[in-house]
Amino acid sequence: MSAVKMALEAIRDKKGRSFLTMLGVIIGVGAVLILVTVVNGMNADIEAYYEKIGVNKVSVDINYKNRTGSADISEDLIAYVNGELGDMTAGITPDDSMTGTLRYYGAANDTATIYLGNEQWSACNNYTLNKGRDLTKMDMDNRSLVCVIGSYVAESLFGYIDPLGQSIAINGTQYTVVGTYYGKDGTAEGSLDDVVVIPYTRSRAISQSSTVTSFTVKVNTAEEVDAVISSLDYWLSEEVDSSTEYELTNLNAQMTEAEGETTSLSLILAGVASIALIVGGIGIMNIMLVTVTERTREIGIKKAVGAKRSVIITQFLVEASVLSGIGGLLGILIGYSGSLVIGKALYDLILLPDFGYTAAAFLFSIVIGVGFGLYPAVKASGLQPVEALRAD
């Protein structure tokens, strides 16, 4: 009879005790898998968010301390990016925003974000035109009273009415809707679909400030982001006067940083959960020591009829490993069910533990069995047959 089969029978003979012994490993493996999966869910959430707002973006924030004396560099900045950095960038747009109220007859929306952008705003921020047209250079030059609206604004103000050509009041000024964007964030209130974009050249009229302070530069590839940032840094340091400060933010790095934080968190949590596994291992060692005592006579018989030490060690190691391995499998089951439930509840996603983590957790549970089973197994194998045979 193979050692594994014998181990399974021994476990079956003492189901209740075996289950209680496995509990530590079950909880440990389950907890590790759930925690790691939840953190992966958080990362997926972060990635999805950055995917929506668009990756490979650099935000430029300019702080004109001397508002009256400093020259507005907006046009020069736009020209510089589209000109000198044109090979590396897909566009640049002013990106100042404000909140306000949008009205269309009886309907009102006071959650929308009002952006002051240019004709490249949608490209820079990952919006796709659904109907009508986007803002144009001419809109900028003419300071046209036009806007393009996100899918939630369209839904909240117009319902089934076609918004194109309709006039909406943005903070009291009438703008004609010339286009709509496809929804990309669930078409929900306060989401990335709850937006309206108007020509940035209308900033003085709408926000009492003619100077644009935020810009978004869309870089072609992630590899070029650093080069664009250093070029912009050099250019800005030359262009702005001493009283003006500026800040360049790599949004990719921001995403990586956010993911890094959750990964650190996952490591800490997995470490805590691993303690449960270690405790489970100690439980296995404890019960294996009891088993050795209970089966001293059996060990004596086996040694008397010719079993070498290695045979006895193997038998108990296999038994401990099978015990912890089954615990590991049950833990994986709990890890998968728990991940599904938590993923659905927290992120509305079908989250399942990564295969690599699952395999690692299972192997770790086996290693726990071997590690903690070793002492009882060696103890069993060292019993003298004459003395072992005298045991009750």
Partner 1 sequence: MGLIELKDVYKIYSEGEPGEVRALNGVSLHIDRGEFVAIVGASGSGKSTMMNILGCLDVPTRGEYLLDGVPIGLRSENELAEIRSLQIGFIFQGYNLIPSLNVWQNVALPMTYQGVKPAERFQRAMEALEQMEILDKAYNRISQLSGGQQQRVAIARAIATRSPVILADEPTGALDSKTGGQVLDILKGLNETGTTVILITHDMSIAARAPRLVRLKDGNIIEDTGNAARAAEVGG
Is residue 275 a contact residue for partner 1 (CB under 8 A)?
A: no
Provide the token pair at 382: 């060292």
Provide the token pair at 105: 């007859």
Q: Which residue has the tokens 């076609």?
A: 162
Residues 24-83 touching partner 1, rule: CB under 8 A, are none
Stretch that binds partner 1, among 54-62, 102-110, 259-267, 293-301 (CB under 8 A): 293-301
In the complex, minimum distance from the CB of residue 278 to partner 1, in angstroms, rounded to a whole number:
30
DSSP string, 147-206: EEE-HHHHHHHHTTS--TT-EEEETTEEEEEEEEEPP-STT-TTSTTSEEEEEGGGHHHH
Give the H or E element holding residue 96: strand 96-99
In the complex, minimum distance from the CB of residue 330 to partner 1, in angstroms, rounded to a whole number:
24
Is residue 218 a contact residue for partner 1 (CB under 8 A)?
A: no
Is residue 302 a contact residue for partner 1 (CB under 8 A)?
A: yes
In the complex, minimum distance from the CB of residue 359 to partner 1, in angstroms, rounded to a whole number:
32
Q: Which residue has the tokens 């990756």?
A: 55
**Nearer to partner 1 among residue 202 and residue 295 (C-beta):** 295
In the complex, minimum distance from the CB of residue 353 to partner 1, in angstroms, rounded to a whole number:
36
Is residue 294 a contact residue for partner 1 (CB under 8 A)?
A: no
Residues 75-134 touching partner 1, rule: CB under 8 A, are none
**Nearer to partner 1 among residue 195 and residue 380 (C-beta):** 380
Query: To 10 degrees, what angle do helices 251-294 and 309-342 make?
Result: 140
Residue 310 CB: number of other CB atoms within 10 A? 9
Task: Candidates 16, 172, 306, 356: give the one binding partner 1 (CB under 8 A).
Answer: 306
Is residue 291 a contact residue for partner 1 (CB under 8 A)?
A: no
In the complex, minimum distance from the CB of residue 312 to partner 1, in angstroms, rounded to a whole number:
10
Stretch that binds partner 1, among 63-71, 100-108, 125-133, 308-316 (CB under 8 A): 308-316
- The beta strands (E) that lie in 241-371 are given as 244-250
Decide: helix, strand or coil at residue 52.
helix
Is residue 348 a contact residue for partner 1 (CB under 8 A)?
A: no
Query: To 10 degrees, what angle do helices 225-239 and 74-83 make?
Result: 140
Question: Residue 348 gets which letter from DSSP?
Answer: S
Q: Answer whether 244's CB lies under 8 Å from 72's CB.
A: no
Residues that bind partner 1 (rule: CB under 8 A) add up to a total of: 23
Is residue 392 a contact residue for partner 1 (CB under 8 A)?
A: no
Stretch that binds partner 1, among 3-11, 50-58, 105-113, 246-254 (CB under 8 A): 3-11
Task: Candidates 103, 143, 309, 379: give the one binding partner 1 (CB under 8 A).
Answer: 309
Is residue 386 a contact residue for partner 1 (CB under 8 A)?
A: yes
Among residues 289, 292, 290, which one has the least CA distance to residue 303?
Answer: 292
Task: Candidates 129, 304, 341, 359: give the one binding partner 1 (CB under 8 A).
Answer: 304
From residue 347, how far is each of 33, 269, 282, 333 by CA, in Å? Answer: 17, 19, 36, 21
Among residues 29, 23, 32, which one has the least CA distance to residue 287?
Answer: 23
**Nearer to partner 1 among residue 83 and residue 306 (C-beta):** 306
Is residue 298 a contact residue for partner 1 (CB under 8 A)?
A: yes
Is residue 14 a contact residue for partner 1 (CB under 8 A)?
A: no
Provide the binding-site residues for partner 1, judged by CB under 8 A.
1, 6, 9-10, 13, 297-298, 300-311, 384-386, 389
